Structures are given as structure tokens and as C-alpha cells.
């Protein structure tokens, strides 16, 4: 029987925030989620999260997971936190102890640890280039672990030790309870240290990758952890046939799917379960949130796509904005400074530049001229514009919804359309043009004379 105890009660004082530390996002996901998902991958019999600071907020965030909670009423150290979960420890089972602020630990590392341990009390250690702040692993001449000394309690010799405790433990349930009962708070911080359970003998499982066990205590470390996570993700996609020009500036959330032969330029954000098919090009400065992009699409520079569908063969951007509910069926073109909101475009339709299409249903092979606006909001309600197949909308047209444009219609540039247009029709709505001979020069000469007289 395996139980997992996750320590998530800390205040995170160095974060300088009211928010619980474990809920800060690392590479697009709260840190505690990484630890929960790691725990789930081990198929344990139970998972217990020890909360303390803002316990209700943490529990609410984790409400969809099938886990138990224990409450550390006072912040009295890591051993005290584990003691808060004693009722969930089975005497005949194994207990894995993890921290909720360590998002970089890999599943294979933990599985290797569990499979290798032979002692009743064991922990993972790692050698760090800069061990400051971590508990040092003190060994005897025969290499057996004597103790773990916290930074504030270490002498000068012990501070030079670069093997540190990671805070990950695997213990027999009965033995863990026995050793917890013997711990006191006679130390520099007057806290009950979980590290003291190793004093009566323990096995140290030495690992090599110090980055995995970086704890996040401030926003600088959070940024560092996020960069590692983002780069690791990018490299996995690259190994699966995705070209990422700069993995150091590609920000892909966990859960995003990307097809082969897709090319991603620098400074791209792919968020919230976005799905990218094969042979897609995403150029610099783009952000896709909950987007679905089919094959052979090009997303040009500085484009924002939110909760929208991009059909195969389409081109979007540069500097376009697809707001939630936008749907490009296939072979569409949405050009620079075009904004769509709850707008569906049929196959082959295009809006090349400087256009707003909101609450619109657009058929096939429609051309939307520059400067066109669907006037969908009257200050109180939203209304729909419907444009049928093979329509040409001239530049600088206002379509005042609700309005329906039939098939094969031509709308002249500069028109304001307030009435439905039947199939095959021509719509023109303009003020008659009046040309007055020589009047333009006369006015400009007068204005020039006024300006000169003021000097």
C-alpha cells in the first residue's frame, strides 16, 4: 500500500503575496498541480494534501481531484506538517512525502527511487553547485548517512558539503510514526524538522539532476523553474517532429497538441489545450489560447487567437485578433488589423485588412473590403449579420445588424446597409457627390492667408 503526503501548508512569505505559494503558476499551471499529477502517475492508494495557509483556497482549487486533506493549524515545521496527516498513514504501508512547490520532479526519478529503496526510511539527495539554503547530508567515513543539518544549524564544515536533502522521502508507515514522535524543536528555528527522522538510520538515494529538485520560494525561482519547464516541453515537441526555432522563447502549456512539420517562430505562446495540426507555421509574437488549428495554416506575426477554430489552408494575420467563437471553415484569409468575434466564415472567404466582424455568419467565397464593420451592438443588445455565398462587400461599409445579405450581392464601397438585400442585388448607400468648380482652391487660399496673418 502506498500513500502520498504532499506538503502545501507554507505561507510563501518571500512571494510577497496573499495567494498561497503552491497556487502560483509555473509554465502555465499551478505548482501544486504538477505534484498532484506526479502522485497520480504512481497509482497510490491515497493522496493527502497538508494545507495550512489559506487552506480553503487550496482545497477549492483541488476540488476536482480525488484526494484527502489534512490541516496544519500552526506553522511549526515540516515534521509537524506530516504529523497533521498521521491519521492517513497506514502502519503496514509505504509513505511517499513530496513538496507542493517543486514542479520539476520527473516521474521516472520518483519511480526509480521507490523501486530502489531497501531501508525503512529513505530520502532523495542531490549534489548542488550552490547548496546554500538547503539541508546538508552528513555522512560517516563508511558513507552511511549520519544526519541532515539545516542551513541555519550547520557549522562552517557542514556548510561546505554540497550533497543536500531534496525534501522527498519514502518511509514505512509504522517506522515514520515512531520517529515523528521522537522529534523536538531544539534548533535555530524552534521548528519540528522532518529531516530529524534520518538520525536513527536512513538511505540516501543520490540523483544527478539538481534542477529537478529546485524548490520555489520566491518569484525569481518561479521564473527559473518556468523557463526549465517550457524548454523541456519544447524539446519534447522537437523530438516528435516539430520545428521550434528558439526553445528558450517558446511558451507552451502542458496539454497542448502540435502536429509534425509545424514550424514555430520565437516568442510564441500556446495556451489552454490549444491543438495544432501538421504543417502549420506560427510566426513571432503570436498567442493562441484554447484554439484549434487545422493543417497547412499560417498564423502571421503578432496575432491573438482565443477559443476559435482555424480551418485548413487558412491564413491569419499579421496583427489579427480572433475573439472567442470565431470559426474559419477552410482556405480563409484574415489579414492585418482584422478582428472577429463569434463570426463564422465559409470556405474561401476573406477579410484582408482593417475590419471588424462580430456576431456574423458569412458564406463561401465572400470578399470583405477594407474598413468594413458589422454594427452588432445598439448599446443594449447584440444582433446578427448574415452574408450568403459569393458576396462582394466594398471598402468602408457599415452593416447595421440585424441584416441579411443574399447570394451574389455587390455592396458598393462607402455604403451603410440597414435593410436586407435580395440575391443577385446591388446595394449603394451614399450621399450624392457635389463638385463646385474652383471652390477648393479658393478655400485653401483663404486659409493660407489667415495663417500667414497670424505670424
pLDDT digits 0-9 by tens, 325-362: 999 999 999 999 999 999 999 999 999 999 999 999 99
* Nearest-angstrom CA–CA distance, 280 and 317: 14
- Residues 180 and 270 grouped into a single domain: no
pLDDT tens per residue, range 210-225: 999 998 999 999 999 9
Residue 30: count of CB within 10 angstroms of its CB? 21
pLDDT tens per residue, range 413-440: 999 999 999 999 999 998 888 999 999 9
Domain with 292 in it: 241-427
- Residues 29 and 143 grouped into a single domain: yes
Q: Determine the pLDDT at residue 10.
A: 86
* Nearest-angstrom CA–CA distance, 185 and 259: 55
Question: Which of the listed residues 193, 213, 233 is the one where a domain comes to its end?
Answer: 213
Q: What average pLDDT does the structure give for the chain? A: 96
pLDDT tens per residue, range 140-191: 999 999 999 999 999 999 999 999 999 999 999 999 999 999 999 998 889 9
Q: Determine the pLDDT at residue 24.
A: 97
- Residues 74 and 191 grouped into a single domain: yes
* Nearest-angstrom CA–CA distance, 317 and 323: 13
Contact of 210 with 129, CB cutoff 8 Å? yes
Within a domain: 228: no
Q: List phi, psi (to 5°) of 337.
A: 60, 40
Q: What's the N-to-C CA distance of the chain in angstroms?
A: 93
- Residues 63 and 127 grouped into a single domain: yes
* Nearest-angstrom CA–CA distance, 156 and 141: 19
Alpha carbon 155 to chain centroid, angstroms: 42
- Residues 187 and 309 grouped into a single domain: no
Number of separate domains in the chain: 2
DSSP 8-state symbol, 433: P
* Nearest-angstrom CA–CA distance, 295 and 279: 6
Q: Looking at the predicted structure, is the pLDDT value of residue 455 above 80?
A: no
Residues in Cβ contact with 148 at an 8 Å cutoff, skipping those fewer than 6 apart: 123, 135, 136, 137, 138, 165, 193, 195, 196, 198
* Nearest-angstrom CA–CA distance, 316 and 339: 11
Within a domain: 286: yes
> With the CA atoms of 38, 41, 44 and 47 taken in that order, what torsion angle do they form, in degrees rounded to the nearest 10?
40
Ramachandran area for residue 84 (φ above 0: left; ψ -120 to 50: alpha; else beta): alpha
* Nearest-angstrom CA–CA distance, 77 and 72: 10
- Residues 97 and 176 grouped into a single domain: yes
pTM of the entire predicted model: 0.90
Q: How many CA atoms lie within 13 A of 419 on its CB side?
A: 7
- Residues 297 and 178 grouped into a single domain: no
Contact of 172 with 94, CB cutoff 8 Å? yes
pLDDT tens per residue, range 349-395: 999 999 999 999 999 999 999 999 999 999 999 999 999 999 999 99
Within a domain: 78: yes
* Nearest-angstrom CA–CA distance, 223 and 216: 9
* Nearest-angstrom CA–CA distance, 37 and 41: 6
Alpha carbon 211 to chain centroid, angstroms: 20
**Could you tell me the CATH number of the domain that includes residue 196?**
3.90.550.10
Within a domain: 320: yes
Cα diameter, the chain:
107
* Nearest-angstrom CA–CA distance, 77 and 64: 28
- Residues 273 and 401 grouped into a single domain: yes
Catalytic residue among 287, 300, 353, 364: 353
Within a domain: 448: no
Q: Looking at the predicted structure, is the pLDDT value of residue 451 above 90?
A: no
452 pLDDT band, cuts 50/70/90, is: confident
Grid cell of 274 as nine digits = 490549444
- Residues 183 and 300 grouped into a single domain: no
* Nearest-angstrom CA–CA distance, 1 and 173: 10
- Residues 28 and 93 grouped into a single domain: yes
**Could you tell me the CATH number of the domain that includes residue 259?**
2.160.10.10
Q: Looking at the predicted structure, is the pLDDT value of residue 41 above 80?
A: yes
Q: Determine the pLDDT at residue 144.
A: 94
Contact of 32 with 50, CB cutoff 8 Å? no
Contact of 439 with 446, CB cutoff 8 Å? no
DSSP 8-state symbol, 109: H
Within a domain: 362: yes
Q: Determine the pLDDT at residue 188.
A: 85
Contact of 354 with 338, CB cutoff 8 Å? yes
pLDDT tens per residue, range 232-282: 999 999 999 999 999 999 999 999 999 999 999 999 999 999 999 999 999
- Residues 294 and 356 grouped into a single domain: yes
Residue 273: count of CB within 10 angstroms of its CB? 14
Q: Determine the pLDDT at residue 12.
A: 84
Within a domain: 371: yes
pLDDT tens per residue, range 42-87: 999 999 999 998 999 999 999 999 999 999 999 899 999 999 999 9
Q: Determine the pLDDT at residue 269.
A: 98
Specify whether 353 is catalytic.
Answer: yes
Within a domain: 223: no
- Residues 347 and 257 grouped into a single domain: yes
Taking the CA atoms of 343, 348, 351 and 353 in sequence, report the sign of the dihedral they define: positive
Amino acid at each position: 500500500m502506498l500513500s502520498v503526503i504532499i506538503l502545501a501548508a507554507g505561507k510563501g512569505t518571500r512571494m510577497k503575496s496573499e495567494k498561497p505559494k503552491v497556487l502560483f503558476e509555473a509554465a502555465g499551471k499551478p505548482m501544486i498541480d504538477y505534484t498532484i499529477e506526479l502522485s497520480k502517475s504512481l497509482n497510490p492508494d491515497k493522496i493527502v494534501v497538508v494545507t495550512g495557509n489559506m487552506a480553503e483556497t487550496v482545497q477549492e482549487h483541488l476540488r476536482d481531484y480525488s484526494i484527502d486533506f489534512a490541516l496544519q493549524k500552526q506553522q511549526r515545521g515540516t515534521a509537524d506538517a506530516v504529523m497533521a496527516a498521521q491519521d492517513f498513514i497506514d502502519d503496514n504501508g509505504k509513505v511517499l512525502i513530496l513538496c507542493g512547490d517543486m514542479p520539476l520532479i520527473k516521474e521516472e526519478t520518483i519511480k526509480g527511487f521507490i523501486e530502489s529503496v531497501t531501508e525503512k526510511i529513505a530520502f532523495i539527495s542531490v549534489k548542488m553547485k550552490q547548496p546554500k539554503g538547503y539541508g546538508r547530508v552528513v555522512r560517516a567515513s563508511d558513507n552511511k548517512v549520519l544526519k541532515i543539518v539545516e542551513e541555519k544549524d550547520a557549522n562552517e564544515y557542514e556548510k561546505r558539503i554540497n550533497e543536500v536533502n531534496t525534501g522527498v522521502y519514502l518511509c514505512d508507515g509504522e517506522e515514520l510514526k515512531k520517529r515523528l514522535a521522537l522529534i523536538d524543536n531544539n534548533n535555530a528555528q524552534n521548528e519540528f524538522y522532518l529531516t530529524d527522522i534520518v538520525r536513527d538510520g536512513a538511505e540516501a538515494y543520490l540523483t544527478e539532476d539538481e534542477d529537478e529538485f529546485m524548490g520555489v520560494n520566491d518569484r525569481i525561482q518561479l521564473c527559473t523553474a518556468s523557463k526549465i519547464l517550457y524548454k523541456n516541453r519544447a524539446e519534447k515537441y522537437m523530438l516528435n517532429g516539430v520545428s521550434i526555432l528558439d526553445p528558450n522563447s517558446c511558451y507552451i502549456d502542458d496539454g497542448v497538441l502540435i502536429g509534425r512539420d509545424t514550424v514555430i517562430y520565437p516568442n510564441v505562446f500556446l495556451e489552454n489545450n490549444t491543438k495544432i495540426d501538421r504543417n502549420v507555421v506560427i510566426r513571432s509574437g503570436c498567442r493562441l489560447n484554447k484554439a484549434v488549428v487545422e493543417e497547412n495554416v499560417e498564423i502571421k506575426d503578432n496575432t491573438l487567437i482565443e477559443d476559435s477554430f482555424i480551418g485548413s489552408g487558412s491564413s491569419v494575420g499579421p496583427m489579427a485578433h480572433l475573439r472567442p467563437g470565431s470559426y474559419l471553415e477552410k482556405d480563409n484569409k484574415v489579414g492585418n488589423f482584422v478582428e472577429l468575434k463569434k463570426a463564422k466564415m465559409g470556405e474561401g472567404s476573406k477579410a484582408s485588412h482593417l475590419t471588424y466582424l462580430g456576431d456574423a455568419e458569412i458564406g463561401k467565397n465572400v470578399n470583405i473590403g477594407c474598413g468594413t464593420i458589422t454594427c452588432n451592438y445598439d448599446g443594449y443588445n447584440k444582433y446578427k449579420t448574415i452574408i450568403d455565398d459569393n458576396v462582394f462587400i466594398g471598402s468602408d461599409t457599415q452593416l447595421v445588424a440585424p441584416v441579411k445579405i443574399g447570394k451574389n450581392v455587390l455592396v458598393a464601397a462607402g455604403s451603410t446597409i440597414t435593410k436586407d438585400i435580395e440575391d443577385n442585388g446591388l446595394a449603394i448607400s451614399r450621399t450624392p457627390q457635389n463638385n463646385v468648380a474652383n471652390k477648393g482652391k479658393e478655400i485653401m487660399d483663404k486659409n493660407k492667408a489667415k495663417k500667414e496673418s497670424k505670424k
